Amino acid sequence: MATAPEMQKTLPSQEKLLLDYVRRLEKHRGDRQVVHVHLSQLRPFNRREQHIRAATSSFDPLISALAGQLFALRSADLIFAFKSQARPQVETVVQKVRFLFSDDPLIAEASTHEKPFATWYDAADQYDDILRLARELAEEEEERLTKVRSRMDARSSLRAKQEQGEPLTPDVLARVEDALGRADLSNYVRRQFVCRVDSKLVPDQEFSELFISINDLRETLMPGVNLTSNRWLFYHLTETLDKRMLSMLSKTDAITITGEISINANVKTLLSDEFQVFDDNVSASRRGAMVIELQKEDIFSDLPAFLIAREYVQERGYRVLLDGLTMQTMFLVDREKLGCDLAKLIWTPALADAGDEVKERLREIAASGGGGRMIMCRCDTRESVEFGRSVGIDRFQGRFIEGLIAEDGRRRDLLKLKHRIQRGTSPGEDEEMAE
């Protein structure tokens, strides 16, 4: 959410406006109150622009009734200054905002949380506290702005814009798909391993997910496009890529595959001719070593078709993985009922903060079907693995796991080297035996 530098030059910050307001407040301190709503303490996924917008608009009726003034701070915190007689209405609105985020630990565990959701001030006797708060906020913002300004010269601001990119529109998508048709995608195939990880953080590879790296593709084929800016167009693009992957795998020479692998697919793709061709090219014995990953929203968009496709591919020997579970959908979607062999839960730090009840339910789900069917993916920290293991999940995927594999590889290489050196010190024994 980088505000363009020129905007910052022309518009005073909300923090500065707040300080001005509070200074002028001194005269009316007798019948004014202030509430500070600590939205910045919410989990990041609850702090998206649309959420904050929903929260700020809750104050609209009060503002239009001239009962008070709202300051939406850079940190996402809200400060509302109002006439004392409006206190009951303001309390209702704050309650409403709190309800918007009722799933957030900030609210769910309010009693154990050191920071409250909202702090109330009465200007009559706390004017100095209010002034101090406003000053601190204004100073912090001023400091941040100077930092940003010095860092953000024209070139880097341009780069930031480019990194966020041109939004994905149908027009851009059409151009991208056209370019994809002509590109050799085999260079963009990446694999990421799903590993069993033990208490000593030693990874044991189970299977690897093959996918076309959208990030790498973006850099070469469509620099400057923010592919995730529209969900539906992005899904369509991934569907196209999944099909290309399938046809690459159908031509055995396009990419060499070893070991157990997983691929992404749509229900519709599994019922298509492309999949039949792929299936014809896979030897029966290989099918048992293959996992097909399906997204939950795809499954639920046509459940009867999914049931038939799942039965069919499982019958042929493939395993089916339910992909894309989040903390919220975890309890909504039942892997066992859907008949999927495996499921992937996306790691977020919020899982670790979610409380004992969530952990307990997660433990139950992880143990279902004899355990070993739940994979935690997008693990980028040690914390993710530690949390997973604490609820009975022992299979992981993500950048952190790739790091563990590399580390493990280095360790093995060292060991090999050590053996070789040891052999070297007792000269020629093996060779003599061989002769």
User: Rounded distance, CA 183 to CA 187, Å?
Assistant: 10
Query: Which window, 122-130, 209-217, 323-331, 355-363, contacts another protein (CB under 8 A)?
Result: 323-331
Record the tokens describing residue 355, joined without a space. 């409380």
Residue 269, interface with another protein (CB under 8 A)? no
CB 296 within 8 A of CB 267: no
Residue 324 Ramachandran class (φ > 0 left, ψ -120 to 50 alpha, else beta)? left
Name the segment binding another protein (CB under 8 A); options: 25-33, 101-109, 215-223, 398-406: 101-109
Does 303 help bind another protein (rule: CB under 8 A)? yes
Q: Binder to another protein among 76, 90, 233, 376 (CB under 8 A)?
A: 233
Q: How far is 280 from 275, CA to CA, in rounded Å? A: 8
| Joined tokens for residue 156 | 């880097």
Run of H or E including 253: none
d(CA 374, CA 345) in angstroms, rounded, equals 7
177 binds another protein (CB under 8 A): yes
Identify whether the C-beta of residue 385 lies closer than 8 Å to the C-beta of residue 197.
Answer: yes
For another protein, give the closer residue by CB, 262 or 266. 266
Contact 212/189 with Cβ under 8 angstroms?
A: yes
Residue 53 found at the interface with another protein (CB under 8 A): yes
Between residues 3 and 92, which has the closer beta carbon with respect to another protein?
92
Cβ distance to another protein smaller for residue 63 or 131: 63
Which residues in 55-74 contact another protein (CB under 8 A)?
Answer: 57-58
Question: What is each CA distance from 190 to 179, 206, 210, 263, in whole angstroms?
Answer: 19, 16, 6, 11
Maximal C-alpha separation, the chain: 103
- Nearest residue (CB) to another protein, 153 versus 177: 177
Kindly state the tokens that stand for 326: 């989040």
Member of 3, 301, 368, 390 binding another protein (CB under 8 A): 301
**Of the candidate residues 10, 50, 111, 283, the single one contacting another protein (CB under 8 A):** 50
Tokens of 119: 């702090």
From 289, 308, 367, 405, residue interacting with another protein (rule: CB under 8 A) = 308
CA-closest candidate to residue 331, choices 367, 293, 307, 365: 365
Contact call for residue 329 and another protein (CB under 8 A): yes
Q: Tell whether residue 31 is a contact of another protein (CB under 8 A).
A: no
The closest of 119, 131, 120 to 26, measured between CA atoms, is: 131
| Residues 81-100, mask of contacts with another protein (x by CB under 8 A) | ---------------x--xx
Position 231 contacts another protein (CB under 8 A): yes
> Counting contacts by CB under 8 A, is residue 332 touching another protein?
yes
* Residue closer to another protein, measured from CB, 152 or 217: 217
Alpha-carbon torsion angle 80, 86, 91, 97, nearest 10: -50
Residue 102 within binding range of another protein, rule CB under 8 A? yes
The answer to whether the CB of 34 falls within 8 A of the CB of 123 is yes
Number of residues that bind another protein (CB under 8 A): 51
CB 229, min distance to another protein, A:
11
The 10 Å Cβ neighbour count of residue 367 is 15
Judged by CB under 8 A, which of 26, 163, 297, 407 binds another protein?
297
Binds another protein by CB under 8 A, chosen from 51, 87, 190, 389: 51
Asked if 44 touches another protein (CB under 8 A), the answer is no
Cβ distance to another protein smaller for residue 131 or 333: 333
Query: Phi-psi bin for 24: left (phi > 0), alpha (psi -120 to 50), beta?
Result: alpha
**φ/ψ bin of 201: left (φ > 0), alpha (ψ from -120 to 50), beta (otherwise):** left
Residues binding another protein (CB under 8 A): 45-46, 50-51, 53-54, 57-58, 96, 99-103, 169-171, 173-174, 177, 230-233, 235-236, 239, 268, 271-272, 276, 296-297, 300-301, 303-304, 307-308, 311-312, 315, 326, 328-329, 331-334, 337-338
